[in-house]
Chains A and B, each alone.
Chain A
Amino acid sequence: MQEIVMPRMNQDMALLCLLIPLLPFIGFLLNGLGNRKFSKGLVGFIGCSTVLVSFLISIYLFLDFKANGSQAYTVDYYNWISAGSLRIGFSFLIDQLTLLMLLMVTGIGFLIHLYSAGYMSHDEGIGKFFSFLNLFMFSMLLLVMGSNYVMMFVGWEGVGLCSYLLIGFWNKNTNYNNAAKKAFIMNRIGDLGFLLGIFLIFITFGSVSYPQVFAEASKLTGLDTPVMIGITMFLFIGAMGKSAQIPLFTWLPDAMAGPTPVSALIHAATMVTAGIYMVIRSNVLFILAPTTLEVIAIIGAATALLAATIGLVQNDIKKVLAYSTVSQLGYMFLALGVMAFSSSMFHVLMHAFFKALLFLGAGSVIHAMSNEQDMRRMGGLRKALPVTFITFLIGTLAISGIPPFAGFFSKDELLAHVFEHNKILWGVGVLASFMTAFYMFRALFLTFFGKFRGPEEQKHHLHESPAVMTVPLIVLAILSTIGGFLGIPEVFGAEHVLGDYLAPLYTYARSINPAAFETGAVSHELEFILMAVSVGVAVLAIIIAYFMYIKKEEVPAEENARLAPVHNLLYQKYYIDELYNSLIVRPVMWLSNAVHRLVDVIVVDGIVNGVGRMVILSGRTLRYAQSGAIGFYLLVMVCSIALILFLNFFIG
């Protein structure tokens, strides 16, 4: 965070900034209110055009920002919350990070909206779908543009709510509802952490607005004070929930129950990166608590590895992508933990490109397969779906870290920083990267190569998706190919565009802990070696996958087949869901049922109804109310009074 130029009073600018989130909101209102009357085309047009205009405005803002010397500024609208000493303005903070997130959210958001217009065109509830999607955009934009933690929290809750609504979109299926509920509850746990973090920030710094909080924080001396560890830990719990880190990650794979564009937009490209945005935004606070950063790094690495291992054996194409998302998010947190904030952001951006691409590609496959998601029923789709195949291949290469695709640069830079910090974590990262390459190519080979394994009649229905769906794929494929050049490593002598661009964000943090931002500790030779290792590992993984699934034409076992113990453990996701179920869900249910039984069933149902019924049966006397319940209630209350008085007068 650098010094903030206080409100630049420019009416037009303020209006433009406001329009960015407002347009999707208008789209939400229009589609939400008129979803029965509008034609499907109109619904799609409203949904897409509002986001497109937001994107164009974002580009304008971005250019304007550069032209005006890259000075961060806030735009104040009105005094949103004013309650005594607590004054929170409804205002936006426009700086490098916000603009980057804006471009990413609206840009990719627009492509996915466009794609949805094709993907959902056969669905009855398309109006509802687009209105939720637009509401999501509104909340997400509020999240990234807000200039204080409360606005971020409002957006944070909003995106959670939309995610919940969209996961359960096809709500006829109970499993889908359970997935939605699970996502909601897990996110709530995170949100509680976030909320408590905000309260702690408010107590400590007397404000929740970024400029004030960070300016105050930069004056603090001493690292690792308990209060800073408390604040950052609470914030990180929030990030854990939203960005699916251990132990709150199990909702994300289940969230794949929603329509595929939703998975691409919310559960891959944008919402799940909100946690990373939050940490980068609060980098000053996190720099003050190295212990928390250490925890973040370890959890990130563990998540990356754990999710990658589970991904190795999944058969549902979307599940594979979901676990790879969890794994990639783990990478990003690993980078945050070693204070490589810009690298993490770089990976967020690249990941948004290639993961959105992969999901949309998967969506295109599912579309062609009439909603079949099991890779064991696919195969040989290369010929039927050429565009999808090529773009999916590019996405796979990008995520595997093959140069010169996007994932190579970001992952490599990230791992180099990790290596500098801790060799063991780097080892974990490389191992996860090996697995990533393996399962992604496994998915690619199973889906697009070999013979078609589905039912015969299905084979004749295979068709490439319409242009409205393939165009976004192509655009994203191009971005996944060239996006990496935003951050060419120093070794190649070019400028690190993104890194330089984001540098002003860390002015405060750098003044507190200059050591964290020193670069170049790794020699060029070593950097080349690291690059070679990660590429080599990926290539090795691809070769193994090639031999297993192309040469030997292996097909994963059927559902009821006996699996080797390790394989089974992985296939059942380490039984984590079952573990949570028996450790948390069941005891809680038991407890509340016990309370219920004690208070309600025995007292109310037992005494009131039991005695009441008896009284009614025995001739409907007017003494109904003397059924004992009142006597019992009064007894408890009198005992409470006696207890209160006793404690007050004779204890303490």
Chain B
Amino acid sequence: MTESLFYFLASLTLLCALMVVISRNPVHSVLFLIITFFTISGHYILLNAQFLAAVNIIVYAGAIMVLFLFVIMFLNMNKDSESRVKTSTLSKFAGTIAGGLLFVIMVAAVKDTTIAGYNADTFTSQTGMVETLGAVLFTQYLLPFELASVLFLVAMVGAVMLGKKEAGEQHF
């Protein structure tokens, strides 16, 4: 059961991720992206990591996607502007072939690798639960957790700085 569910979710994830790239309409892209996030959350649940699944939906599907949609609406794109920036067929082909090559090589390289399986005796099924995660995050991984705040501060300062209107600024 779990296995077939995994394959279903995985194929759905891949399909939707592909559609994000392929679809012409940006709003459709975003919608596909939302489905992708939901399916990934499904994977988390399969791995018994409910907290991550919830966070994934709240942060990505909730906040970030809404932001994306806002931006797209602000840009006010119409048919006209879409047709102007067509990607040439050649570069589409080139991109596909290069990406496909990379994919094939990576799969071929690791296909025979046996992943060191977990030890059933010591494995706790609670690893992915919020309690364990919290404990690890605030003890062992406290420093990276705190320093991530610097990362966000940088991003925030940058966003404000770049977003602010400035005298003499042009619109390109």
Contact = CB atoms under 8 A, between A and B. Distances in A.
Interface of A: 615-616, 618, 620-624, 626, 628, 631-632, 635, 638-639, 641-642, 645-646, 649-650
Interface of B: 75, 81, 84-85, 87-88, 91, 94-95, 98-99, 101-102, 105-106, 108-109, 171-172
B36 to A, nearest CB: 21
Ranked 9 nearest A-B pairs via Cβ: A649-B109, A642-B102, A642-B101, A638-B98, A623-B85, A645-B105, A639-B98, A646-B105, A635-B98
Contacts of A615: 85
A626 B85 contact: yes
B171 A620 contact: yes
A646 B107 CA distance: 11
Nearest to B101: A642
B100 to A, nearest CB: 9
Contacts of B95: 631, 635
Nearest to A647: B105
29 contacts: A616-B172, A620-B171, A620-B172, A621-B84, A621-B85, A622-B171, A622-B172, A623-B81, A624-B172, A626-B85, A628-B88, A628-B91, A631-B91, A631-B95, A632-B91, A635-B91, A635-B94, A635-B98, A638-B98, A638-B102, A639-B101, A642-B98, A642-B101, A642-B102, A642-B105, A645-B105, A649-B105, A649-B108, A650-B108
Contacts, number: 47
Contacts of A642: 98, 101-102, 105
Contacts of B171: 620, 622
A645 B109 contact: yes
A651 to B, nearest CB: 12
Contacts of A624: 172
Nearest to B98: A638
A639 B96 CA distance: 11
B98 A631 contact: no
A645 B172 contact: no
Contacts of B87: 631
Nearest to B110: A649
Contacts of A650: 105, 108
Contact of A621 (B81, B88, B109): B81
A88 to B, nearest CB: 43
A44 B63 CA distance: 78
A632 B98 CA distance: 11
A638 B85 contact: no
A175 to B, nearest CB: 48
Nearest to A636: B98
A168 B48 CA distance: 77
A32 to B, nearest CB: 44
Contacts of B84: 618, 621, 623
Contacts of A616: 172
Given A623-B84, A631-B95, A642-B102, 17 more contacts: A615-B85, A620-B172, A622-B75, A622-B171, A622-B172, A624-B172, A628-B91, A632-B91, A635-B95, A635-B98, A638-B99, A638-B102, A639-B98, A641-B102, A645-B102, A645-B105, A649-B108
